[in-house]
Structure 1
Amino acid sequence: MQTKWAKTVILLCLVLVVSLAACSRPSKPEDEGEQEAEKVLTTDVVVVGAGGTGLAAAASAHDNGAEVIVLEKLAFTGGSTALSGGGISATGTKFQKAEGIEDSKDSWMELWKERQATSNPDGMYPDYEFVDMFMDEAVITTEWLADNIGHKYARIEGFGLDPVRRIHFPANGGREVIQNLENYLKEKGVEILTETPAKELRTDDDGDVIGVVAEGPDGEKIVIEAKKVILATGGFARNEDLLARFVPEAKGTSELTVAAAGSTGDGILMAEKVGAVLYEEPWIIGMGIGTRIEGTGAIGMDWTKLYVNGEGKRFANEQMHYAIATNKIIEEDVVWVVLDSAEANADIIASLEKAMPTDEVAKAESFAELAEAMDVPVDNFVATVEEYNQGAKTGKDAMGKEPEHVVAVEKAPFYAVKAYPKTMGTFGGVKTDEHFRVLREDGSVINNLYAGGECANKILYNQVYISGSAVQFALTSGRIAGEHAAKNLD
């Protein structure tokens, strides 16, 4: 019995010793088992962003002998280029010559200067030497897309107040531009990693960029070691915090922008973090006016409508370039678009009626009652509408609008809907040199880092967009950056 009891005591002691030994072992860090898996990739050039700028950069880098990886944070490629009409302006192209179109860089430059002079008279930009260079490079890009990528142009046209036939359009809009670039890259074996946002730039002790840290679709950390990095992530039109920081006048416009969902300023912020200097005087790329009422999109570029401000007065000739219209709207505290019950307005009115009651819409049987509903000075508003209607009858508008666009407001009930600035992107980003290498405050190059498109476009503009220039600059800056990066890997 004593022997059995002794064995039991010994066994219990052994169990206790093992337990104490286990407890005394160094504990595993709590996060060690939860650490993200890490993948390391190596390439010559990594392009951040798969819109027009990024895909053009990747194609150009590959054309010039580089191994390339493209990162895209969304599940699909395209960026703002895919949402555009795909038209790219250029003068003196072989495609214009084939159609007998007479055009010149001087003509385009004259228009450029005329448009930039419509706002911010003391602005620091554009840099017209850079614009001149861009116009030359635009011809090369337009022909490179056709000759190297297999892109096709269905027509060459003017647009709105820009009648000269210099905008080269594909048959199926910006998505076709993206699709052709993407098909080319896939044929060449270039890897495009979607749902893989870049999180930060990697630098060495000298401040040279040596790659990117990204996050894969499953949260996996991906370290990409690269000799060159090209930022092509677009602007910040979808980021209210950056709008408030850079263009406070345009705060609140993110809800009415047609910029790509990924336009949140990622590349700009990453570059700033490693010492990039930002352009002064950032601004928005205007696309006319918009409302918060669904189904009223037709108002946006309708020159026959009447605009009034919070004083009940007209403040501009409504027959203006859409980017200028956006700027004019920003200058006013409140803007209303006034219309009557004419048959031409039936679809818009149906949308307004569906939305009512709302503070966004006013309705009344007389101009005086409409002014009261809008909360604008009655006498001012009534006088404004009467003067406008008189101009419609005489064909002489007080603000110079062409007679065919001056349509009288006559048939009751009358409506007014609040209008807001509508955007399609931003001007700003990081400063670069002519090769689109990113610069520091002192003008020195951040080695191995490039930026293009809306990441670096302010140099071309004051506050007014030029039709056909945004997609052209995206593609041209991408092409130049990709080529320079590939040719300077060592």
Structure 2
Amino acid sequence: MPASDAYDVVVIGAGAGGMTAAAVAASEGLSVLLIEKTEFVGGTTAWSGGMVWIPANAHMKQAGMPDSASDAAAYLASTIPEIENAGLRKTFLARGPEAVEYLEDNTEVRLQPVKTYPDYYPEQPGATAGGRVLEPVSFDGARLGANFKRLRPPLPEFTLFGGMMVNRLDIPHLRQFGRSFRSTLRSLRLVSQYALQRLRAPRGTTLHLGNALAARLYASLLARNVEVLFGSSVERLLIEDGAVGGVQIRDSSGGRPIVARKGVVLATGGFSHDKNLRERYFPAAAGSVSAASPAGCGDGLRVAMAAGASIGTSVASPAYWVPASRFQRADGSPGVFPHTVTDRAKPGIIAVNSAGKRFINEALSYHEFVLAMLRDGNDATTRSFFLVCDRRFLWTYGLGRIKPFTWRIRPYVKRGELIEAASIGALAAAIGVEPSALSKTVNDYNAHARMGHDPAFGRGTSIYQRHLGDPNHSPNPCVAPIEQAPFYALRIYPADLGTAIGLKTDGHARVLSKDGTAIAGLYACGNDMGSIMNGNYPGPGITLGPALTFGYVAGRHLAQTGSEVHARQRGRA
């Protein structure tokens, strides 16, 4: 329960964008209330890789990695053909580095460059091989004290031993456990630290990736006395004289108004889990699978549209896509595993459609992969797709939520999650594919894969693809034959990571009305804000980069020139 019913700023949604806006506004001396309808902060960010795409950032300069706003603009122009939101992309390039520096100077957020993570289209003008991507510095969750329980846990499938997070640099060492003295020592140290942490916490407290970013933002709120109201939803915006001056909320005590003297920031996470909006804006072949946080149900869009806000629908794609597999956890809860970077680009796996044919270069970005699925599916929601590999691949790299070096494969097979067969023909029959078609696909692939080639799709021919492959496999880190029985198939589905359609905003993150003017006192960021990339996916972190940037922009604008609304609702200060 908040101590007051009036604040300078009210933020709706505790994902990266919302927490950034709240932290910045509070750092600027404003009183802030953050309203979150779930019991956790973090949103989809807490499940994500935590990558933040900010071209020409200060960390790149410090590392001696060349970049410029003009190079980044050229790259975006080559990967985002639409003119929509060109002004917002210009704002993003200008203020993104500023946002990072402000957050690191004034909050608990700490980022570091990922020096070897290429842009997704490295052949395009202005692309870089790394450095534009920033990742959160690891964070000790114990610093949150009792509030650690309020941080959304990472997906259990991305942890080890029931709650241990590992960062990118740990993974190669864990794979070399028992084969490298240095890697074995490092792995044993990680596990020992985790064991000690579990004596005082329900999961590991050494946080990485998106969980570390969410924790750092939450720590920033706690340090600046930002009140967080959990388990509360916003029913409508309060408007007087054409300006937004607060919200009507509903929580366990009932409904009541809360005044926002300067403004309201919408950051509720888009509409990934709203059935009606998905049917309205998504292609039929996209189905209903989402890898986004279940809290993203379009709440922000609905209250904004009721207040006269405009929605931007001129996008290349209505969402950001990822292939995903589905399963049921031991506790009975449904699980969705996003196949981003862990398996598709590794050597010895292919993706096939229901005709048993390859349809995509498996090492392309997850967004491009699903676009190919949607094209191949021809709007048919029943079209099936599978990842196909052999015993060697499954043991070495894992598949979906099945981790490398898993001895007990039988439980996954018994549940029907993983399909196993002694031959490719038998595997085809098991997944409902014509055996001769799948056998021809695998034989054609193998004939060239033994020499490290993929003439059909050119897999492993860009620095981005090779970055995701296995650097210890030659001659092509992305290509190897599929020939060691038994053989395996895993069904995958088109899924979204977040929505690209959202509220139209200006360069100050103010929400625009249908006539193109700013609605006084109303801001949006994160996935409630229409994507500045228009549903294109130029590189890792192109959702979190703009979320942090425009959350920062909104917080600064509220502090400097935000609309002062003298509402007469109950609780007026």
Aligned runs of 1:186-197 on 2, under 5 Å? Answer: 186-197=222-233
Number of aligned residue pairs: 444
- How far apart are residue 155 of structure 1 and its match? 4.4
- The farther-off stretch of 465-474 and 367-376 is 367-376
Q: 1:221 aligns with which of 247, 255, 268?
A: 255
Q: 1:89 aligns with which of 53, 61, 64?
A: 53
Give the Cα separation in 1 of the matches to 2:43 and 2:97. 23
Percent identity over the alignment? 30
- How far apart are residue 401 of structure 1 and its match? 1.1
Q: 2:110 aligns with which of 140, 144, 152?
A: 152
Aligned to 1:6: none
Q: Cα gap change, 1:335/1:38 in structure 2, threshold over 3 Å: closer, same or farther?
A: closer
CA contact (8 A) 2:57 2:96 kept: no
Give the Cα separation in 2 of the matches to 1:293 and 1:418. 14
Q: 2:246 aligns with which of 208, 211, 218?
A: 211
Give the Cα separation in 1 of the matches to 2:339 and 2:4. 51
Q: 2:459 aligns with which of 401, 410, 423?
A: 401
Give the Cα separation in 2 of the matches to 1:247 and 1:130. 24
Q: Does 1:181 align with 2:214?
A: no
Give the Cα separation in 2 of the matches to 1:260 and 1:68. 24
Query: TM-score normalized by structure 1?
Result: 0.82
Q: Cα gap change, 1:52/1:298 in structure 2, threshold over 3 Å: closer, same or farther?
A: closer
Give the Cα separation in 1 of the matches to 2:408 and 2:499. 30
Q: Helix, strand or coil for the counterpart of 1:442?
A: coil
Give the Cα separation in 2 of the matches to 1:488 and 1:343. 56
Q: Tell me the alpha carbon deviations over residues 4-31 of structure 1, each in whole angstroms, 9 at most, x when there is no partner.
A: xxxxxxxxxxxxxxxxxxxxxxxxxxxx
Aligned to 1:488: 562
CA contact (8 A) 2:454 2:479 kept: yes
Aligned to 1:14: none
Q: Cα gap change, 1:154/1:190 in structure 2, threshold over 3 Å: closer, same or farther?
A: same
CA contact (8 A) 1:39 1:222 kept: no
Q: Cα gap change, 1:240/1:175 in structure 2, threshold over 3 Å: closer, same or farther?
A: same
- How far apart are residue 61 of structure 1 and its match? 2.3
Q: 1:391 aligns with which of 444, 448, 469?
A: 448
* Structure with the higher helix share, 1 or 2: 1
Q: Tell me the alpha carbon deviations over residues 82-121 of structure 1, each in whole angstroms, 9 at most, x when there is no partner.
A: 333333222333322222122223443444345446xxxx
Q: Cα gap change, 1:353/1:422 in structure 2, threshold over 3 Å: closer, same or farther?
A: farther
Q: Post-superposition, which runs of at least 4 consecutive aligned residues in structure 1 deviate over 6 A?
A: 37-40, 293-296, 349-352
Give the Cα separation in 1 of the matches to 2:116 and 2:304. 36
Q: Over alpha carbons, which structure has the higher Rg? A: 1
Q: Tell me the alpha carbon deviations over residues 390-415 of structure 1, each in whole angstroms, 9 at most, x when there is no partner.
A: 11123321211123312211122322
Q: Tell me the alpha carbon deviations over residues 277-306 of structure 1, each in whole angstroms, 9 at most, x when there is no partner.
A: 111146222234434476995965321311
Aligned runs of 1:263-278 on 2, under 5 Å? Answer: 263-278=296-311
Aligned to 1:374: 431
CA contact (8 A) 1:207 1:274 kept: no
Q: Cα gap change, 1:86/1:376 in structure 2, threshold over 3 Å: closer, same or farther?
A: closer
Aligned runs of 1:248-327 on 2, under 5 Å? Answer: 248-249=283-284, 251-254=286-289, 256-257=290-291, 259-280=292-313, 281=315, 283-292=318-327, 301=341, 302=343, 303=345, 304=347, 305-327=349-371
Q: Cα gap change, 1:184/1:134 in structure 2, threshold over 3 Å: closer, same or farther?
A: same
- How far apart are residue 240 of structure 1 and its match? 3.1
Give the Cα separation in 2 of the matches to 1:319 and 1:479. 34
Q: 1:167 aligns with which of 118, 130, 133?
A: 133
Q: Does 1:138 align with 2:174?
A: no
Instruction: Supply the AA of the counterpart residue of 2:228.
Output: I
Give the Cα separation in 2 of the matches to 1:147 and 1:318. 41
Give the Cα separation in 1 of the matches to 2:246 and 2:419. 55
Aligned to 1:21: none
Query: Mind listing any 5+ residue stretches in structure 1 that lack a counterpart?
Result: 1-36, 118-123
- The farther-off stretch of 385-394 and 63-72 is 63-72
Aligned to 1:53: 17
Q: 2:389 aligns with which of 315, 320, 339?
A: 339
- The farther-off stretch of 179-188 and 452-461 is 179-188
Give the Cα separation in 1 of the matches to 2:2 and 2:351. 57
Give the Cα separation in 2 of the matches to 1:299 and 1:185. 32
Instruction: Supply the AA of the counterpart residue of 1:224.
Output: I
Give the Cα separation in 2 of the matches to 1:151 and 1:360. 39
Q: 1:235 aligns with which of 254, 270, 273?
A: 270
- The farther-off stretch of 262-271 and 274-283 is 274-283
CA contact (8 A) 1:237 1:426 kept: yes
- How far apart are residue 66 of structure 1 and its match? 3.0
Aligned to 1:112: 76
Give the Cα separation in 2 of the matches to 1:75 and 1:298. 23
- The farther-off stretch of 391-400 and 147-156 is 147-156
- How far apart are residue 481 of structure 1 and its match? 1.2
Give the Cα separation in 1 of the matches to 2:508 and 2:354. 47
Q: Alpha carbon RMSD of aligned pairs, Å?
A: 2.9
